[in-house]
Structure 1
Amino acid sequence: MTDIYQASDLANKRTEIIDRARHGLAQIRDKDSTSLVMLPERRLRMLEEIAKWSLAHMRLEELLRREAAPPNVTDLGDLAWLRVFELDDLREFVDELHAVLVAAHSDEDPSVLEECIRAWRITARQLEDPLRRSVLLGRHDPDDFTEAEPPR
């Protein structure tokens, strides 16, 4: 149970309130009954990041449910960087995003989420280049390769 402090407590119990906030959160009731919460900035940023990507996940999941083809740039909006992926890849992204959102929330650490997004963005940039795309997605025959000689 969270103790609720009054705004006037900030004058006398400042250290106690800050300590509560540092170790979770401190709730303060203002004179007009507005409830205010103090918490570590790191935790706030983590919650904001999870909320942002949860919304993106739901939006993309809905787009994929309705469409038989990959969504267009307009539909993707701020996720337009995903436009280079085929439908199966987008579904894989949605599944992976769901898993890392659960992990980030459970761990209270957005680093796994940030790493996932970074890796998918890097892949998207590589696929934008036609030559790299053909190398990454093309068929490779073992006869296309030869043994490399050691440097002299």
Structure 2
Amino acid sequence: MTDTIFQASDLANKRTEILERARQGLAQIRDKDSTSLVMLPERRLRMLEEIAKWSLAHMRLDELLRRDAEPSISDLGDLAWLRVFEAEDLREFVDDLHAALIAAHSDQDPSALDEFLRAWRITARQLEDPLRKAVLLSRHDPDDFTEAARPQ
């Protein structure tokens, strides 16, 4: 955070200093009506918004799974893409999401969270297809496979 709180009038004379503080992470400005305003890099704001959004989703899904009933599409809302997963898989998603949120906050970078969500969404799309789901979830016996000949 910052120990300096700029006044709105400082925007005229100290704008370079205010902008530098904002680039470094945060600049706080007190408006004439005592409203506290904050300037920060847009990248940081977007990261905080993503973490807030997925933290809320994490809490909501965690609460749904504590009910011991399979959540409906309506319960899942914007997480309806998770409907293809069983309760055990959803519990794993919640646990992994928690870890991804901690990593994103710690790194101040949402890329770990983005990659985590991308991987789960890809898996969900694969499980929507009955044939792919059968292949992915069936037992595989090594005798079912043969060595392929090198193409000529």
**TM-score, normalization by structure 2:** 0.97
Corresponding position of 1:47: 48
**Which amino acid in the other structure matches residue 41 of structure 1?**
E
User: Take 1:108 and 1:143, find their aligned partners in 2: how far apart are those partners?
Assistant: 48
- Does residue 4 of the first structure (1) align with residue 5 of the second (2)? yes
**Which amino acid in the other structure matches residue 97 of structure 1?**
L
Structure 1 residue 18, shift from structure 2 partner: 0.2
User: Take 2:140 and 2:22, find their aligned partners in 1: how far apart are those partners?
Assistant: 57
Alignment of 1:99-110 (within 5 A): 99-110=99-110
Corresponding position of 2:79: 79
3-state secondary structure, aligned to 1:50:
helix
Tell whether the 8 Å contact from 1:25 to 1:38 is kept in structure 2 after alignment: yes
User: Take 1:88 and 1:113, find their aligned partners in 2: how far apart are those partners?
Assistant: 21
Structure 1 residue 147, shift from structure 2 partner: 1.2
1:98-151: per-residue Cα shift (whole Å, max 9, x none)? 001001001100000000000000000000000000000011122211111111
User: Take 1:28 and 1:67, find their aligned partners in 2: how far apart are those partners?
Assistant: 48
3-state secondary structure, aligned to 1:33:
coil
**Which amino acid in the other structure matches residue 73 of structure 2?**
V
Q: CA RMSD in A?
A: 0.7
Structure 1 spans left out of the alignment, 5+ residues? none
Structure 2 spans left out of the alignment, 5+ residues? none
Name the % identity: 81
Tell whether the 8 Å contact from 1:17 to 1:26 is kept in structure 2 after alignment: yes
User: Take 1:67 and 1:8, find their aligned partners in 2: how far apart are those partners?
Assistant: 57
Corresponding position of 1:63: 64
Instruction: Tell me the matched-pair count.
Output: 151
